[in-house]
Structure 1
Amino acid sequence: MTSTAGMKRPKDQVRAAYYDQLGVAFGKKVRARIHWIVREAKGEDILDVGCSGGLVPILLGREGKRVTGIDVSPEAIAEATSALKEEAASVQSVVMFSETNIMSFSANRQFDTVLMTEVLEHIGEPERVIQQAYTLVKPGGRLVVTVPFGVNDYADHKRTYYLKRLIEQLTPYGTIEKIERFDKWLGVTLVVQEHVQPGRMLSAEEVDWLEESFEFVERMHLAEVVRLKQVNKRLEQKTQHVAEIELRIVEQSNEQVKLEQQVSEINQQLEQLAQQYTLVLKRYEEALVSNMEVLEANEAWKSKYRSLANSKLGKVIVRYWKFRRKLSRRLARRR
């Protein structure tokens, strides 16, 4: 499923996609391609070039086929080996993985089917790799190839494939038996033959197929453009809404600052009033104490007066002043 180039590659996600871990819709597309590859792997002895995480060899091993998976990536082989350990003993006995480049791979036999899925787009000189794969296929056996269909500009992709170039590269080694398109992938099955005339023109049926595929992919891209525009519009609306919320937050923050300033001023005024009130209370307390002393003094004089008035001398004096008042009133009436 991945390149045989020697550069370090990102982790392959085919297994995750196959089991819907990258979304149900994408998983359905990936399974359609993987299952086509499995169906096209005829015979009992299969070689998977660029096996990546080992998904296809394990699926074929579950059907009892003897499968060798090779890949130049040690991480890919480690992942494939780990996945194989989780399989039944019957699967482990017929599947093996090897960290090997196809150009240096040697076997003491030829294979019924050689798979090269998502390999050629990573190769600078794919003709050499196809020639090497051809030598590993039994006469009458199959070479099954898949590549991304059309523009697919990943960092480690070295070429774009439509139909004509792939047919030109494969037909010197046999007869094209089947051409399929799976969403954005192209699949070709070649029956290996000797003494095939190089070069081949596209048939009218293949041209029709290609034009229909172009229309399908173009409409798919146009639909994606429309979807992205809708997403962008929703994002703009959300951005505007967020901006309005942020503006309200700023306004509320400014209002809060003003309120905090007012509260601070009121607290200062209350503190001043409290200080003034404390001072008034202190003065009132002092005055109250002073008045209490005066009242206590008056009470002492009243007591002394009552004691004097009740004495014999006091009674005489009181009668005397009463007499004087009566006499003064009589004289005043006579006048």
Structure 2
Amino acid sequence: MKKMFGALASLSLAACGPQIETVSFSDGLPGQEMAKLDVPSTTSQRIDDGAATVRQQGRGDLSGTWLVTGGTVLVVNGVTLWSLGSLNFVAGLEPASDNGTTAVWGPRTNDWERTTWKLTAVRTAPNAFKYTLEAKPKGSDDSEYAAVITGSHTVAVDEDGKAIKGYGEGRFDIDYDKAARLPFQDSKKGQVSFEYARPSPTAAVTVGVDLKEFVNDAAVPNTAAYRYSQVPGGEGFFEFATDSNIHWFDPTRIALERWTIKSRWNATGEGRADVRATGGDLASPVTMNECWDTRFRSTFLDGSAPSQVKWGVESSDCAFTGASYSTR
């Protein structure tokens, strides 16, 4: 009987799983790499920010849709760098207070921007945290603090319950309307939301980004969605959707069409992009399809527009056969 009770007790403890170690606050905040997008490239490749248009020279030239993909990735990474860079700037020193449940960093002043920052993190589990990054103009009253970034982060653990440093999952939201009130900030407005997951060194990385009424250099607010997945050293995809006027040259047709691009690539860098425009002043969807080789040179081009230039054979010139359009 004693042996039976002992066996049951052991089974009960095993069912509970390993105890998760308590992660420090300094290791419980996401680093800049957590939500960064990585796409294949070569040192000789020049990526322009051509997200507004898809330009194509001819077969064998650098792929126009790949340039758009790469340029858009650069823009998204720029937003990530600013947000998580600000977070880690404040958390770079020891917290002013830490009672095990809540830690507060700052106030810390960024002298070259004349901004004072304060970061508060709350532990919700041994390896999980919620945080708020607040900022105000240097020298202003504490009532001027505004929550610029809010988020949550869970540190990944291994099968023994040990933290895997640099890996995890979470989300954060940036309020550019509040950030714009700070000294020396640019004209960005609106909200941007990130969701990310880097479970382990070998698991696929996923990142989702949503822009809501976002304004950068243009005067018109933009709503867009980005989705990214990449197996380390293997296949990946990046898709994005935005509203833009395909008939910008015609003042009688001002409705916005929905543009989507989904790019896929394999471990060698060979890939394909499928573009589609719908709605607005279009009577029917317009599509374009392009494939590129390991040097990102166009090997196949097709599309539904009557004036679309075409070249290549899909079955032999594409790493992926069959279109796969974004559903965003």
Short-chain TM bin: under 0.3
Higher helix share: 1
Between structure 1 and structure 2, the one with the greater Rg is 1
TM-score (norm: length of structure 1)? 0.25
